A and B are shown apart, each in its own frame.
Chain A
Amino acid sequence: MAWLMAILQTLLFIALAPLLSGWIKRVKCRLQNRKAPSLFQPYRDLRKLYRKQPIVPHPASWIFRAAPYIVFASAVLAAATVPLAAIHLPTARIADVIVLVGFFALGRMFLVLAGMDVGTAFGGMGSSREMTISSLAEPAMLMAVFTLAMSAHTTNLSQAVNFVLDTGLVLRPSFVFALGGLMLVAIAETGRIPVDNPATHLELTMIHEAMILEYSGRWLALIEWASQIKLMLYGVLIANIFFPWGIAQTFTVNALALGLGVITLKLAVLAVMLAVSEVLFAKMRIFRVQEYLSFAYLLSVLGMLSHIILEAAR
């Protein structure tokens, strides 16, 4: 029963990810006074791409063919570890944040290799940029996670959520800093606006799109879907660690329905915040990204320091 729940939750996660990016697009269009596409447009795009035949460039090796599946599989595995609507699932045993970062790194590595595999200039450029950014973002994210771990005494997501639920409302300075750091990292890692523009296809500044320029058909669909899952993963991570109230702790129908409704609401609010920040800020120059990410790192370090200094037991 519990395993069934875990599988169901993962499937739900995967199925809802395109809906979230559709919602973000819709809010953004509204804010920019444009006519918004339907909420289900990402599903239609994925279906259209899935029906098309993928084209393989001549110099491509097996990496190019395997990468979409590995990227998608690592995103699905990562989604399986994060508690979406309920905690105490059997997958909680592997729901460690460091495992999660490892899944992200695995998917990213194959995406980067695939970008370089064909040997086009764009692919190599995108790959090198992606690696630069992730090498700066990963320490900031881990530092934020360690800040949480110092309060919760665990890096297990399920137990950390449980800890926050148990202690109730506590205004921890370290959590505020970690939240800020994690939000900045999430924006950088999912390629949203101040760092990368998800809506562009032919520009010198693009990062994610540059790597997957050679992909088409169902492979492109898999990669797009994986990046939508990744965006939702970060959203769920932020919502459930810092504001876990409402998440289901028992497997009754009422609790699960409440958990699902609450997480949908939280994600919708986070998406509105993301859309507003994307409308307000312009894309940064690529050389300023390291300043942005070092600020994220600084926030995480301050979080850790404030845990030691301000939250010391008296």
Chain B
Amino acid sequence: MDFAELSLYSQAVLLLAGLIALTSFLMLGQSRLVRLVLVFAIQGILLAATTAMVAGVLDFPHLYISAGLSFLLKGILIPVMLHRMIYRLGLHRELDTIEHPARVMMGGAFLVVFSYYVSLPVVAHSPLVTLNAIAVSLAVVLLGMLLMITRRQAVAHVVGFMSIENGLFFAAVVSTYGMPMVVELGIAADVLVAAVVFGVFFFQIRESIDSLDVDRLSKLTEVDKP
């Protein structure tokens, strides 16, 4: 079936999938932490919108709950928490240096191609139309990992981690139309707890090494040995 013959709803879901991938790329290139958190919030809202759209058309009322949950948690609560933490730690003016931004972006594009290649056999075995987006969800997971690798700030690592979770959630929505409600509630609680624990960790790391630059965690001594 050609793309133009799909229903507008499926087209919209696929369009949202493209936009979610775009937000992942934006996060990869964003060196200011406050804006990084903002883009993360936008990704959460897009994710919630996708879920709500799937719920509305397929008439799966339990997906509305998970849409609302992800909107509240990933769109508002966690970004607000991270935002506050950035201000309390005094990091809102700091620039996280990205080494070789163009190379990181090209790496990200390569990851998208890679996840497309990996998901080809999966897509071939299913009649589900929205399954085309599974490559995108895999790419979001990998891009989140890339974000964690390329950054030094602990806050950016947390955002990368949460965006990996976004990718997994998105994969569940487009491939099986949502996980069982128990699993979803459990994961939501986990993510919330993780956000709180990360907050505690930020202060711990900062007290012990006086910075949130995790590259300094790889040294055992404070003074550089000659």
**Interaction A to B:** yes
Chain A residues within 8 Å of B, Cβ to Cβ:
167-174, 176-177, 291, 294-295, 298-299, 301-302, 305-306, 308-314
Which 9 residue pairs spanning A and B have beta carbons closest together? Answer: A173-B18, A171-B11, A311-B3, A310-B14, A306-B18, A171-B15, A173-B15, A167-B4, A170-B4
- In the bound complex, what is the Cα–Cα distance between A176 and B46 (angstroms)? 15
Are B17 and A310 touching (Cβ within 8 A)?
A: yes
12 A/B residue pairs, CB under 8 Å, sorted by A: A168-B4, A170-B4, A177-B22, A294-B102, A295-B29, A298-B25, A302-B21, A305-B109, A305-B112, A311-B132, A312-B3, A314-B1
Q: Is residue B90 contacting chain A, with contact meaning CB distance below 8 A?
A: no
**Does chain A have a CB within 8 A of B72?**
no
- Complex CA gap A312/B4 in Å reads 11
Contact of A170 among B3, B102, B132, B133 (CB under 8 A): B3
User: Closest chain B residue to A291 by CB distance?
Assistant: B101
> Would you call B3 and A172 a contact (CB within 8 A)?
yes
A299 to B21, CA, bound (A): 11
Decide: B21 and A306 in contact? CB cutoff 8 A: yes
Asked if B81 is at the interface of the complex by the 8 Å CB criterion, the answer is no
CA distance A291 to B127 in the complex (A): 41
Which single member of B18, B29, B129, B136 contacts A177 (CB below 8 Å)?
Answer: B18
Residues of the A chain whose Cβ atoms lie less than 8 Å from the Cβ of B101: 291, 294
How distant is the Cα of A34 from the Cα of B25 in the complex, in angstroms?
39
Say if the beta carbon of B113 comes within 8 Å of chain A.
yes
Please, how many angstroms separate the alpha-carbon atoms of A135 and B8 in the complex?
38
Name the residue on A nearest B101 (C-beta): A291
| Cα distance A310–B129 in the bound complex, in angstroms | 10
Find the A residue at minimum CB distance from B18: A173
Main secondary structure, interface of A, reads: helix
B residues in contact with A295, CB < 8 Å: 29
What chain B residues lie within 8 Å of A298 (beta carbons)?
25, 105, 109
B residues at A contact (CB < 8 Å): 1-4, 8, 11-12, 14-15, 17-19, 21-22, 25, 29, 101-102, 105, 109, 112-113, 116, 123, 127, 129, 132-133, 135-136
* A168, A171, A174, A310: the one within 8 Å of B133 (CB): A310
Q: Which residues of B contact A172 (CB under 8 A)?
A: 3, 11, 15
Chain A's closest residue to B9 (CB) is A171
Which B residues are CB-close (under 8 A) to A313? 1-3
Contacts of A312 in B (CB 8 A): 3, 123, 132
- Cα distance A169–B136 in the bound complex, in angstroms: 24
Question: Contact at B18–A301, with CB atoms within 8 Å?
Answer: no
Provided the pairs A171-B12, A310-B132, A314-B127 are in contact, do residues A302 and B18 lie with their beta carbons within 8 angstroms? yes
Are B133 and A302 neighbours in the complex by a CB distance under 8 Å?
A: no
Q: How far is the CA of A115 from the CA of B25 in the complex (A)?
A: 38
Chain B residues contacting A301 (CB-CB under 8 Å) are 109
- Residues in A whose Cβ lies below 8 Å from that of B133: 310
Complex Cα gap A170–B15 (Å): 10
Which chain B residue shows the least CB distance to A175? B15
Residue of A nearest to B112 (CB): A305
Give which listed residue, B1, B29, B113, B129, contacts A305 with CB less than 8 A. Answer: B113
Residues in A whose Cβ lies below 8 Å from that of B129: 314
Q: Is the CB of B22 within 8 A of A309?
A: no
Is B116's CB under 8 angstroms from A308's CB?
A: yes
Assembled-state Cα–Cα distance A313/B3 (Å): 6
Q: Among A169, A294, A299, A311, which residue has its beta carbon within 8 angstroms of that of B14?
A: A311
The chain A residue with its CB closest to the CB of B17 is A310
The CA of A275 and the CA of B3, in the complex, are separated in Å by 35
Q: Give the distance in Å from the alpha carbon of A106 to the alpha carbon of B90 in the complex.
A: 52
Most chain B CB within a 10 A radius of its CB, from A167, A308, A310:
A310
Q: Which residues of A contact B25 (CB under 8 A)?
A: 298, 302
Measured in the bound complex, the distance between the Cα atoms of B1 and A114 in whole Å is 54
Residues of A within 8 A of B105 (CB): 294, 298
Chain A CB count within 10 A is highest, among B2, B18, B21, for B18
Q: Which residue of B lies closest to A151 (CB)?
A: B3
Hey, which chain A residues are within 8 Å of B127, CB to CB? 314
CB pair B136 A309 closer than 8 Å: yes
Measured in the bound complex, the distance between the Cα atoms of B105 and A305 in whole Å is 14
Interchain CA distance A168-B18 in the complex, whole Å: 21
| Nearest B residue (CB) for A295 | B29
Q: Given A167-B4, A301-B109, A302-B25, are A314 and B14 also a contact pair (CB < 8 Å)? A: no
Cβ B4 vs Cβ A173 within 8 A? no
Bound Cα distance A298, B18 (Å): 13
Given A171-B12, A294-B102, A309-B112 contact (CB < 8 Å): yes
